[in-house]
Amino acid sequence: MTLIAGFRLHRGGILLCADREQLTGAGKHTVDKIDRFSLAASSYVIAATGSHPILANALPRIRQCLQDAEKSGKDLRMEHQAIIGSALRPLHEEMVWGRTDENERGISLIVAASFGQQKGEITTALYGNYGDTLYPANAYLCEGTGRDLAYYLTDKLYSGVYFSLPNRTKAIVQASFIFRGVREAVPGIGLETDMVLLSGTERGVRMIPYSVIEKLDQELSEIQAGIQKAWNQGLKIPDWLKQESADSDLENLPEIYI
């Protein structure tokens, strides 16, 4: 079971994240679930969840198809989406579609890509997949176990009147908060969190050590502490809620007839 997520940054960068827990029988161990590679004028970071045997075939095929396309002179900036789809299509035909256990063989990918080599010329793209089809994402994507809770937390952090895409510092802190929240609530999501930052301003990919993220997790305030802080600083409690009753929990509350 795996949770993966991708978050866009304000200068075009993309932060990809994944937990590191993998269950094997009665035990669990830590694994890297984010693939990354670079070609002559493009870089790719792929977070993956789903059937491990299918993923073990999918990721090398994607890399090989992009390498072959580059060697043949194709413009990867313009054609990468179709090329990745061409790698996923035969794999799904051979190993997924039409099988009696098709649902267990599905895979989910979050793909981040950058194109160009010089500052000022870099463009980036963020995709999820539906089978063999890649679809673009504007701000963020979450997939895998705990997806619904991750989206709930992300929606809250990536919304509001004054919302703007985060810088790398804010994105890493927010992602740490989201993954910690899901890890505490959903079984099977655990151990460390991997993060890989794909730059939107220069050619480069940076792996952020999970040991650093673990220390950051310990510094993040608990939700309960945040509520207590708001209470102590003058949370505006409505008058009807201040009127406690010694005899009944139902007295002094707004009345709705049912």
Query: All domains of the chain, ordered by start, with CATH?
Result: 3-220 (3.60.20.10)
Task: Please provide the DSSP assignment of 114-146 as one string.
Answer: EE-SSTT--EEEEEEEETTEEEE-SSEEEEETT
If residue 28 lies in a helix (H) or strand (E), which one and from where to where?
Answer: strand 27-30
- 24-62 confidence digits (pLDDT tens): 666 666 677 899 999 999 999 999 999 989 999 999 999
Position 258 scores a pLDDT of 47
pTM for the whole structure: 0.86
Position 227 scores a pLDDT of 65
- Calpha distance 115→82 (Å, rounded): 15
Least Cα distance to 12 among 243, 203, 233, 153 occurs for 203
What mean pLDDT value characterizes the chain?
A: 88
**Does residue 238 carry a pLDDT above 90?**
no
Least Cα distance to 181 among 141, 137, 138, 151 occurs for 151
Q: Do you know the residue count of the chain? A: 258
- CB of 20 closer than 8 Å to CB of 26: no
Band (pLDDT 50/70/90 cuts) for residue 9 is very high
- 147-203 confidence digits (pLDDT tens): 999 999 999 888 876 678 999 998 999 999 999 999 888 887 767 899 999 999 999
Least Cα distance to 143 among 210, 33, 50 occurs for 50
Q: At what angle do helices 52-71 and 76-95 cross, to 10 degrees?
A: 140
Q: Strand 42-50's sheet: what is its strand order?
A: 34-38, 42-50, 107-115, 123-130, 133-136
Band (pLDDT 50/70/90 cuts) for residue 219 is confident
Letter for the amino acid at 119? Answer: K
